[in-house]
Structure 1
Amino acid sequence: MKRLLGTTLALGALLLGSACNADNDDANDTGDGPVTITVNGLPPDTDPVNRANFEKDVKDFTAKYPNIKIDAREGMMDAQTFSAKLAGGQLEDVFYVYFTDPQSLIRKRQVSDISKYLGDFPDTGNIKPQLLKVFSDEGGKVYGLPSQNYSLGLVYNRDLFTRAGLDPDSPPRTWADVRAAAKKISALGDGIVGYGDYSKNNTGGWHFTAEMYSRGGDVAVRDGETWKAGFHNATGREVLQQLKDMRWTDDSMGRRQLLEYADLLQMMGSNKLGMYLGTGSDIVNIVNQYKGKFAPLGLGPIPDGKGTLGGGDGYMFKAGLSPAKIKAGLTWLSFTTVNSERVDADSARSKSRNQPVGLPQPNIWVAGSGSEKRLLDARAKHGNVPKENFAAFAATVDTIPLKLEPPLAQQVYAVLDVPMQKVLTDRNADVDALLAAAETQVNGVLAGVR
């Protein structure tokens, strides 16, 4: 789920207490003097291009705002460390989240209200209301800001398509087409996998949800004032049965399974994978982090096209922060991520470093706003991607219905990892029994959602 994969926030009252009390010692600090804030999102050494960009941002920011010191930490939102850091009061002041997580953090009062400071940062007024709502409570108070959003499509290798006798300008439009193409690609041999899918660390549940949406199904549905599982049906069976058939009957998904986010990107970067569900941002990561070449990579619409899973990420503010730290954090975000004024310079910089500019993806700005216009102008001016590689996706990005993730998404995804794992590792897996068991567990997860 690239940057866009979440973590399970099964956090109890202990976490609430420790998070809310973490910064009480400076809660009344409203001075204008020097302030230090901790932020995460510093890319690792293994991602030198993005790390260099981040470090330059810190240097330029400090030069412009000498009274604000940025203490940058590596990492985004790691399932292995997030809960422990939150419980121990070690979470950064401004921290990265996926769209699946803000509502849980807000309900548990583990984040700071930033509403009254937003008027000092003009670009925040051009953020799409539906995206800002992800970071808001029912009363309209805001606790964070989005940085990007996405919709899923079909990432594919154009070179392997050509070698397999497929048209690289016409990616599969249905799941039946995906299965047929995967057979041809895997027949190339040499360890090449036709189609890849996830099944570990919540990524399997994420993709199961996406595949349900693409067929017109749901994972969670409203039942009066509550929610219940919506996948133990013919559509859910179609999803799992096709994966099972591709894995065991066609042998087009490879023998290595229990894959998570980085695995498929590495395979695509090494020209060993024909197709998988992903985003335009994945293509950037394949090139930057996994030594892939840009030219062979294509992006098509999600198969069947009855719906596509959309999500994104952003940053929130740790509970108990002083006004000075909140304003410093908003100044940092308004310099780095929520800043349409810098998109032209950023695009020019990316182009000069042979990084892709102009990939078709949704953006966070209100249509027709000055912020969106600056973004679209920069893409047109500096775009360096071969548009034919992404023409099929671009043609449908505004027509396929966009559906957000289910309530308590990461907890739901953790449950749905299991049926994904079973059908890909056990040729005797009982699809209906797996769905029935998952339904019971997901109903338990959703029981408290209102």
Structure 2
Amino acid sequence: MTRSRLRRAVGFLLVAGVGLSLTACGGGSDEPSDGKITLTINGLPPATEAATHQRFLDNVAEFERLNPDIKVKPVEGKMDPKTFSAKLAGGQLEDVFYVYFTDPQSLIAKRQVADISKYVSEFPVVQQVRPDIMKVFSGPDGKVYGLPYKNYSLGLLYNRTLFTKAGLDPNNPPKTWADVRTAAQKIAALGNGTVGYGDYSKSNTGGWHFTAELYSLGGDVAVKEGDTWKAAFNNAQGKQVLQQLKDMRWTDNSMGSRQLLEWADLLQMMGSGKLGMYVATADNLQTIVNQYKGNFADYGLGPIPEGKGTLAGGEGYMFNAKASPEKIRAGLKWLTFWFTSPDRFEAENKWMAETKQPVGLPEPQIFTGEAAAKQAAADKKYANVPQENYAPFAAAASSIPIKLEPPNAQQVYAVLDVPMQKVLTDRNANIDALLADAEKQVNSILATVK
């Protein structure tokens, strides 16, 4: 699912009007006569986000001071699959450009990005990036084509206050879906409009959560057979997801009568203190507090129940296929100076704390080893959220495999909204028929994947 639906904009929707000719992007013919390397890179937040906009420019200035042979020119835009090929062919693509985790494998397969493998050894910090996340930016042969910047994964967000009132341990969130069902019944029994567990079923969010819950059981929405993608959810695992929800909705009455919910609904319910649990990313916490008058102290985050897999995503940067070795090295210097730089954790956390942004949430977490230790120390030093509330999520994160969205995810999610809607609004919904129909539709969608 696109991150605009999952979380706040983190300052990487880019501003128009940056004074740069598009002919200055790309393959290396734009070098000035003074011998400096000009590096075009997107990432400048809009001027309306004054703090993050200025922070970006300040970091550019600091980088240029430390690297006087490099000139960084931030440009508007990000990787758009609809225009990418034309920009690449026309020499209009930035040297280093922003991508979501769902983009790299397609770009690598089409040979539309630069292989940076022989350069990354010059930047030791890359070796400390989590191997599972580096795979997102690596080809089947192990060659590297980019670096991650931020990651997210889905867990179980819950109301610690309601857990306590219901006689549940707020430091021990449910570990299985059977545990979720039991806890939801106890929370719903508190009455006064309290809902034990909430789920989505509208505007593609139902399909997104179906995917996350299926992944938690070790299932897949789609698998690749040779060169063809096929639907893979019409099985016991897919049925388990829908049967669990149907039982909670109609047998237990722990999900409440209000259904057909979409993204903002569950956040608002959590902020009002009337919802016990739902599947979410860590950054939902900030939105609940800032937009829906919640309190960080009231919420906890646990790992996805069952833990056989979790829907994950994030952001990173890749390199123009036409970039020269000099520009690739300059780009890696820039990325490891700021975006992938353990040495800047403390300074960034200090700035975030001073600008009233949350410090100490359990993600992003892209590092291992010494780099991860530096992040943990910087987070602890400047934390302004109750980190202990997210300890169960953090402790389990490294042991849960991450899985990305299926191809043509939004179209697939729209189809999968329907079975989610049916089991939550019709007590007589036929799960087998719903999955069989969705399978046919998703296979038609997947047949168009190239």
Q: TM-score category by the smaller chain? A: 0.7 to 0.9
Query: Could you tell me whether the CA contact under 8 Å between 1:360 and 1:393 is conserved in 2?
Result: yes
RMSD between aligned alpha carbons? 3.9
Q: Say yes or no: does 1:35 pair with 2:38.
A: yes
Amino acid at match of 1:182: A
- 2:136 is matched with 134
Q: After superposition, where does 1:254-333 map in structure 2 within 5 Å?
A: 255-260=258-263, 262-287=264-289, 291-318=293-320, 320=322, 326=328, 329-333=331-335
- 2:432 is matched with 432
Query: Could you tell me whether the CA contact under 8 Å between 2:202 and 2:260 is conserved in 1?
Result: no
3-state SS of paired residue (2:337): helix
Query: Could you tell me whether the CA contact under 8 Å between 1:37 and 1:328 is conserved in 2?
Result: no
CA distance in 2, matches of 1:291, 1:303: 27
CA distance in 1, matches of 2:97, 2:414: 23
CA distance in 2, matches of 1:259, 1:342: 37
Amino acid at match of 2:38: V
Give 1:263 deviation, angstroms: 4.2
Query: Could you tell me whether the CA contact under 8 Å between 1:310 and 1:402 is conserved in 2?
Result: no
Q: After superposition, where does 1:389-428 map in structure 2 within 5 Å?
A: 389-399=389-399, 401-405=400-404, 408=407, 410=409, 412-428=412-428
Q: Say yes or no: does 1:60 pair with 2:59.
A: yes
Q: Say yes or no: does 1:169 pair with 2:168.
A: no
Residues 2 and 413 (structure 1 numbering): CA distance in 2 closer, same or farther, change over 3 Å? closer
Amino acid at match of 1:241: Q
| Aligned residue among 148, 151, 172 for 2:150 | 148
3-state SS of paired residue (1:172): coil
- 1:349 is matched with 351
Amino acid at match of 1:259: E
3-state SS of paired residue (2:318): strand
Question: Cα deviation per residue 1:366-418 (whole Å; 9 max; x = unaligned)?
Answer: x43x323322332344445435422333443344x314236527264454333
Give 1:277 deviation, angstroms: 1.0
CA distance in 2, matches of 1:61, 1:377: 25
Gaps of 5+ in 2: 7-21
Residues 135 and 201 (structure 1 numbering): CA distance in 2 closer, same or farther, change over 3 Å? farther
Query: Could you tell me whether the CA contact under 8 Å between 2:134 and 2:147 is conserved in 1?
Result: yes
The percent identity for this pair of structures is 55
| Aligned residue among 84, 100, 116 for 1:98 | 100
3-state SS of paired residue (2:343): helix
Q: Say yes or no: does 1:252 pair with 2:255.
A: yes
Query: Could you tell me whether the CA contact under 8 Å between 2:30 and 2:38 is conserved in 1?
Result: no
Residues 58 and 195 (structure 1 numbering): CA distance in 2 closer, same or farther, change over 3 Å? farther
3-state SS of paired residue (2:340): coil
Q: After superposition, where does 1:17-36 map in structure 2 within 5 Å?
A: 26-29=26-29, 31=31, 32-33=35-36, 35=38
Gaps of 5+ in 1: 7-21
3-state SS of paired residue (1:295): helix
Q: After superposition, where does 1:382-393 map in structure 2 within 5 Å?
A: 382-393=382-393
Question: Cα deviation per residue 1:301-330 (whole Å; 9 max; x = unaligned)?
Answer: 222334434443322345555666655544
Residues 419 and 167 (structure 1 numbering): CA distance in 2 closer, same or farther, change over 3 Å? same
Give 1:120 deviation, angstroms: 4.8
Residues 325 and 214 (structure 1 numbering): CA distance in 2 closer, same or farther, change over 3 Å? same
Question: Cα deviation per residue 1:77-118 (whole Å; 9 max; x = unaligned)?
Answer: 8xxxx4445476487664433322211122234434444543
Residues 217 and 116 (structure 1 numbering): CA distance in 2 closer, same or farther, change over 3 Å? closer
- 1:198 is matched with 200
3-state SS of paired residue (1:173): coil
Give 1:169 deviation, angstroms: 2.7
3-state SS of paired residue (1:303): coil
Q: How many positions carry a matched residue from both structures? A: 422
Query: Could you tell me whether the CA contact under 8 Å between 2:25 and 2:93 is conserved in 1?
Result: no
Residues 84 and 311 (structure 1 numbering): CA distance in 2 closer, same or farther, change over 3 Å? closer
Q: Which sits farther off after the overlay, 86-95 or 173-182?
A: 86-95
Residues 441 and 196 (structure 1 numbering): CA distance in 2 closer, same or farther, change over 3 Å? same
Query: Could you tell me whether the CA contact under 8 Å between 1:39 and 1:72 is conserved in 2?
Result: yes
